Structures are given as C-alpha cells and as structure tokens.
C-alpha cells in the first residue's frame, strides 16, 4: 500500500454556505456507486451540514478526476473547482483524524461529527465501496476521536452548534418555556435545535423547503407546529 494513494476532495466549513449547499449529497449510496464506476478502488463519502468530502484510495484515479465528478454530479459550473480542496497521503490521514476529533468543526470538539464519521464508513461498507485501507483508516479515526474526548477533557466543552444556539436564547430570555420558537430548515442541525427547544418547553414552529418533510416530522413529533416555507416571514 502506498499512503500517497489515500486522497480527499471536498468542501468544508470554510467554504461559503451557499456553495456548500450545492454539493450536499442527498443519496450517498448512489454517489458511491457512481464513484466506484470511475475506477476508484475504495471510496467513502463524509457528508454533514458543514462538509462534503470524498475520501478514496486509488493508484490510477487523480484528485482532478474526482473534482470533475463533483462538477458533473451536481451540475455545477467549471469555476466551482477552485473551491474544492484536495489533499493526499499523510495530510489526508491527519485530516480525517482531526475531523473525527472535532478539531475541524465549527464548534471545536463537538461530538456529532464522531457519529457522522462512523456512519460514513458504515454506509460505504453497506455499498461495498470501502476496502481494508479506508475501513481501517476510518475505524482508527473513530477510535482516536473517542480517546481525544476522554483523555483531553474536550468532551466537557464539546457542544453542538444547535445546542449553543438554544442555550444562548435561554440566557437572553431566562426561561423559554411557553415562548414561541421558529426553526427554519429541518436538516440535522435544524432537527437538533427543534428537539433542544422542545426539551426546554418552547412552543416550536418549523418550516422546510420540502414541505412533505415537515409533515412527516409532524407525524413523528405531534407537538410541533408546521408552517409553509413561503409563509415563513409572516411568522418571524
């Protein structure tokens, strides 16, 4: 195995939000299959609110070819390529370790990323897109992430962005029980904020571009109030 054949192409928290949203993988399984068809020996996709990264092992396929995949898969203009980060070898290994430890997160040490890294390799295993090399890399990253949180005390400071946002609101209003709160967007961060608000007793209103997703969530959590996306500003 040549460590320089471990490569990563993607965007992260430092990429403008409006650009990150354009490369958010909706169907990771489908994307993994298409990437394997390119000739990649192993591939894992890590897709979260703040990053869309393709990790792969290949002796023949270059990072430029995977950049082209990003452009074609998401139907982007060629100039988007300049926003795609590429690293390989020890830099790629160190990067996934730092990601799993929460050192590359918007909130340093946040713990959601650890489960997301684990989910990424589990999904790759499900679709037979990862082999021994990336499986070991990601499992070691998860192990290191757990150890970092336990041994360094960073877990005591590690809070998700949604938790911090709700905590800030609670500090401003002292008690948010019974107060109206409006969550726009039902991605992972939005749903976590919604759950934190409900736990504090807030009267939660939610909206989402895909209204059917809001309706599905309402069926699971009857206590929320849903608002059509086009009417969101009427409720702010």
For the entire predicted model, the pTM comes to: 0.72
Q: Note if 49 is an active site residue.
A: yes
Q: Which domains does the chain have, with CATH numbers?
A: 3-156 (3.30.460.30), 161-235 (3.40.50.720)
pLDDT given for residue 157 in this prediction? 55
**Tens digit of pLDDT at every position of the chain (236 positions):** 899 999 999 999 888 888 888 898 999 999 999 999 999 999 999 999 889 999 999 999 999 999 999 999 999 988 899 999 999 999 999 999 999 998 888 777 777 899 999 999 999 999 999 999 999 999 999 999 999 888 876 665 545 667 777 777 777 787 888 888 898 888 777 888 888 888 888 899 998 888 888 898 888 889 999 999 888 887 76
C-alpha distances in Å from residue 224, one per residue of 32, 40, 45, 175, 180: 35, 44, 32, 19, 11
Place of tokens 């299959």: 33
- Calpha distance 205→217 (Å, rounded): 12
Are β-strands 180-184 and 52-57 bridged in parallel, bridged antiparallel, or unpaired? unpaired
Choose the catalytic residue: 32, 40, 45, 49. Answer: 49
CA 23 to chain centre: 11
pLDDT given for residue 236 in this prediction? 67
pLDDT given for residue 155 in this prediction? 61
């Amino acid at each position: 195995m040549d460590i320089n054949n471990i490569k990563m192409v993607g965007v992260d928290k430092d990429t403008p939000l409006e650009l990150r949203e354009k490369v958010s993988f909706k169907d990771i399984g489908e994307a993994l299959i298409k990437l394997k068809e390119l000739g990649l020996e192993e591939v894992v996709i890590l897709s979260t609110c703040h990053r869309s990264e393709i990790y792969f092992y290949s002796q023949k396929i270059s990072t430029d070819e995977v950049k082209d995949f990003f452009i074609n898969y998401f139907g982007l203009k060629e100039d988007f390529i300049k926003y795609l980060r590429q690293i390989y070898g020890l830099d790629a290994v160190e990067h996934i370790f730092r990601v799993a430890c929460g050192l590359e997160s918007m909130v340093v040490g946040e713990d959601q990323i650890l489960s997301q890294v684990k989910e990424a390799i589990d999904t790759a295993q499900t679709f037979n897109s990862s082999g021994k090399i990336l499986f070991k890399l990601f499992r070691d990253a998860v192990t290191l992430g757990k150890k970092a949180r336990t041994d360094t005390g960073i877990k005591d400071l590690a809070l998700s962005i949604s938790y911090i946002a709700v905590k800030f609101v609670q500090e401003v209003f002292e008690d948010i029980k019974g107060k109206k709160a409006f969550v726009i967007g039902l991605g992972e961060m939005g749903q976590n904020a919604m759950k934190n608000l409900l736990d504090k007793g807030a009267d939660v209103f939610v909206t989402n571009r895909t209204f059917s997703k809001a309706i599905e969530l309402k069926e699971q959590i009857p206590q929320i109030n849903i608002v059509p996306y086009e009417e969101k500003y009427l409720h702010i």
